[in-house]
Amino acid sequence: MEKEREALQAWKERVAQELDRVVAFWTAHSHDREHGGFLTCLGRDGRVYDDLKYVWLQGRQVWMYCHLYSKFERFRRSELLDAAKAGGEFLLRCARVAPPEQKCAFALTRDGRPVKVQRTIFSECFYALAMDALWRVTGDARYQREATEMMDQVVRWVREDPSGLGRPPLSGTLAAEPMAVPMMLLSLVAQLGDHDEALAGRYAELGDWCAQRILRHVQRDGHAVLENVSEDGRELPGCLGRHQNPGHALEAGWFLLGYASRKGDPALRAHVIEKFLLLPFHSGWDPEHGGLFYFQDVDGLCPTQLEWDMKLWWPHSEAMIAFLMGYRDSGDPALLRLFEQVAEYTFCQFRDPDHGEWFGYLNREGKVALTIKGGPFKGCFHVPRCLAMCEEILGALLSRLARDPGAPRAPPAAPTPRGAE
């Protein structure tokens, strides 16, 4: 037990130090003091190489700063709060393409004019995530109203009528559900309902719906998680149907662990650990060079995506969260060992010893393929979210061990179900 305590303590210190370095990188280089919001196209040393602003990354950084500000004493700094508010105001002012319509841009110029619009829900979801987080740290009800109004619009697009997204209906397009959609909504349900009985109740049915939809992505008699299934939960034909993304399945895994924990459902927890943590890890981990493949084909065929065998930062940060959370919730020491395996690889390969923040893109062998620290799809989110959540979980595990030295071996008591669940 003492050896385990020491291991957890050592990881907590390593993770906390790394979080400090990562946050320092983003606060030093990404704040746009002229227009608000964040510059995320940053080179290895933080230099700005492009000033387009990506709405996903604006919303995510606002959320991240609010989370750090509210959960960590050492990050309760006006610098973070002010930057989060300036980011939120930038989104309020510029994210919508044609206000009062709710559709948001994907990319904006530095001063906030729309450059590109995606015909999906994700810009809007990260907008809602940011607004809810801002409401929690500022108490300004305007932010909460923005969050729930956007959330309700997104839910209408997903469950009632997608026509406002701008995708023309085509007779040959398969009615496919990407797992990202219920995952995104489930994470919003968790965010908006956190410590808020009224909203938790309001979105309880939606949360159940999301969890059920994600679970339907377990296919092939329970032997594989597929990224896309039909709207009635069956495997789709062709590459689209066979497509797998192990890191994404692991991320869905920890979303579902949170859901199972809120529901107090140990059977679901065990199912999630088996299907969304262990399966994708064992199929997705590269036996030759280590690390998680980015994409796979469930039949073992060659994927058509050029980057399929690259090692990306975010599947690894999601895997760290998933295994540590799985260990916390189940007490199974095999999951702690998997956390350590992934975390060792990740710290060794992605961490930049000379500058803050991690590299994002390695080739199969683990060599840095792109030296950028931020770009159109990488901002201040996956790395600090992983480090912050791991620090919090490790802290909770250590407290539990201090209270009851036998605790991590046994599953914790089921928390009380909440809301209308």
The residues that touch its own copies, with contacts defined as CB under 8 A, are: 41, 43-44, 49-52, 97, 105, 107-109, 112-117, 166, 168, 170-174, 237-239, 301-304, 306-310, 361, 363-364, 369-372, 375-376
In the bound state with its own copies, the residue whose beta carbon lies nearer, of 166 and 415, is: 166
Distances (CA, A) of 263 to 66, 208, 209, 393: 26, 10, 13, 19
Of residues 54 and 209, the one with the C-beta less far from its own copies? 54
Nearer to its own copies, 212 or 371 (CB): 371
Comparison of 78 and 171: residue with beta carbon closer to its own copies: 171
CB of 97 to its own copies, least distance (A): 7
From the CB of 226, what's the least distance to its own copies, in Å? 15
Report CA Rg, the chain.
21
Closest contact distance (angstroms) between CB of 294 and its own copies is 9
Buried b (16+ CB within 10 A) or exposed e, 42-75: bbeebeeeeebbbbbbbbbbbbbbbbbbeebeeb
CB of 110 to its own copies, least distance (A): 9
User: Please, what is the minimum distance in Å from the beta carbon of residue 88 to its own copies?
Assistant: 20
Q: What burial class does residue 242 get, using C-beta atoms within 10 Å of its C-beta: 0-12 exposed, 13-18 middle, 19+ buried?
A: buried
Closer residue to its own copies in complex, CB, 290/408: 290
| DSSP string for residues in 382-413 | HHHHHHHHHHHHHHHHHHHHHH-TTGGGSPPP
Q: How far is CA 224 from CA 130, 131, 220, 229, 301, in A?
A: 33, 35, 6, 12, 15
Q: Minimum distance from CB of 324 to its own copies (Å)?
A: 28
Q: Are 64 and 412 in contact (CB under 8 A)?
A: no
State which residue, 170 or 413, has the beta carbon closest to its own copies. Answer: 170
Contact between 51 and 40 under an 8 Å Cβ cutoff? The reply is no
Smallest distance, Å, CB 119 to its own copies?
Answer: 11
Pick between residue 171 and residue 416 the one whose CB is nearest to its own copies: 171
Interatomic CA distance for residues 320 and 247, integer angstroms: 10
Pick the closer one to its own copies by CB: 44 or 400: 44
| Least separation in angstroms between CB 105 and its own copies | 7
- Which is it for strands 218-219 and 41-42: parallel, antiparallel or unpaired? unpaired
Give SS3 for 292: strand
Q: How far is the CB of 31 from its own copies (least distance, A)?
A: 19
State the amino acid at position 356 in one-letter form. G
Cα 88 to Cα 112: distance, rounded to the nearest angstrom: 12
CA distances (Å), origin 32, targets 35, 90, 138, 209: 6, 10, 21, 39
Which tokens in the block code for residue 370? 């792109």
* H helix or E strand, kind and range, residue 369: strand 368-370
N- to C-terminal Cα separation, the chain: 36
- The residue assigned the tokens 């998997």 is 338
Name the residue nearer to its own copies (CB basis): 231 or 404. Answer: 231
Provide, rounded to whole angstroms, the least separation between the CB of residue 117 and its own copies.
Answer: 7
Q: Which is nearer to its own copies, 291 or 331 (CB)?
A: 291
